[in-house]
Amino acid sequence: MPVTSTSLKVLRRHRQFAALRAAISARSYQLRNLHQTAAMPSSPQSPRIDKITPLPSHEAKWIEFLKLDWTDKNGKPRVWEAAGRKTRGSSGVDAVAIMTILRHPSRPPATIIILQYRPPVDAICVEFPAGLIDAEETPEVAAERELKEETGYVGRVIGMSPTVVSNPGMSTGNMKLATVEVVLGEEDVQPEQHLEEGESIELVIVPLAELYEKLLAYSAEGKKVDSRLWHTAVGLHLAKQLQ
């Protein structure tokens, strides 16, 4: 069959349409891919400090810097710099930390510790569950509320420390340490946390007899252990050694 100019034009047009369809198909695939990628949640990343700058006092929401004019025992005037909480409520106590006693029918007594990133030390810290006391809360109510929010467990306060301080050379902050008992059933499963937006807290259940060694292991990994938790673990460890 002879090839005419008309048939050549038709052939060229078929090729052009085929190329156009291929280009449209490729572009549609790219757009679908782009849409799916944008819709996917971003993968989690390690928290980090991006920038450190001085904080003007008028921007501070939680703390304030204080100049303390005081007189020493020899009558000499002196000045001390301190940080203070701006959130202290009617209880006169800033915060509460919670030592949980988990009682299980067939397991040894255990406690709950939490792991969370703390920007001031730029590290994952190992701590007791803890939190600030709301304006009109008692420390007991705050302890049970914070335990439920951070761990999901519901318990009752069976002991409360006096008001104590942890960094008196730098801060006016104070706190109480609550002992909260949680009684578990044989088939109970770990409850769901009730974290606030922006909180990322990993909870770990540790038999009390293993707490000291567990904290040593975390420290060797580069995590920072909170002093209140460490002092508790050391006390339990020494008590066991001195028996």
Position 168 in a domain: yes
Average pLDDT (214-220) is 98
pLDDT of residue 43: 54
Under the banding of pLDDT at 50, 70 and 90, the label for residue 40 is very low
* pLDDT confidence of residue 196: 74
pTM exceeding the 0.75 threshold for the entire prediction = yes
Q: Is residue 117 part of a domain?
A: yes
Let me know if residue 35 belongs to a domain. no
DSSP codes, 41-64: PPPP------------GGG-SSEE
Residue span of the structural domain in which 128 resides: 95-241
Whether 140 maps to a domain, the answer reads yes
In a domain, 14, yes or no: no
Mean pLDDT of 65-81: 97
The CA-atom distances, in angstroms, between 13 and each of 9, 16, 20, 24 are 6, 5, 10, 16
* Residue partners of 11: CB distance under 8 A and separation at least 6: none
99 located within any domain: yes
Average pLDDT, the chain: 87
pLDDT at 37 > cutoff 50: no
In a domain, residue 86? The reply is: no
Q: Which CATH number belongs to the domain containing residue 162 in this structure?
A: 3.90.79.10
Map residue 186 onto helix, strand or coil.
coil
Q: Is the pLDDT of residue 85 over 90?
A: yes
Poorest-pLDDT segment among 34-38, 71-75, 101-105: 34-38
If you average pLDDT over residues 96-118, what whole number do you get?
A: 96
Q: Which residue has the higher pLDDT, 39 or 154?
A: 154
Q: Which two tokens stand for residue 16?
A: 């052009």
Confidence of residue 243 (pLDDT cuts 50, 70, 90): confident
Is the pLDDT higher at 46 or at 206? 206
The proportion of the chain whose per-residue pLDDT surpasses 70, expressed as a percent, equals 82
- The region of weakest confidence among 39-43, 153-157, 165-169 is 39-43
Q: How many structural domains is the chain composed of?
A: 1
Closest CA to 176 of 96, 86, 111, 100: 96
Q: Is residue 59 part of a domain?
A: no
The pLDDT value given to residue 190: 84
Residue type, 78: R
Range name among 19-23, 31-35, 163-167, 215-219 with the lowest pLDDT average? 31-35
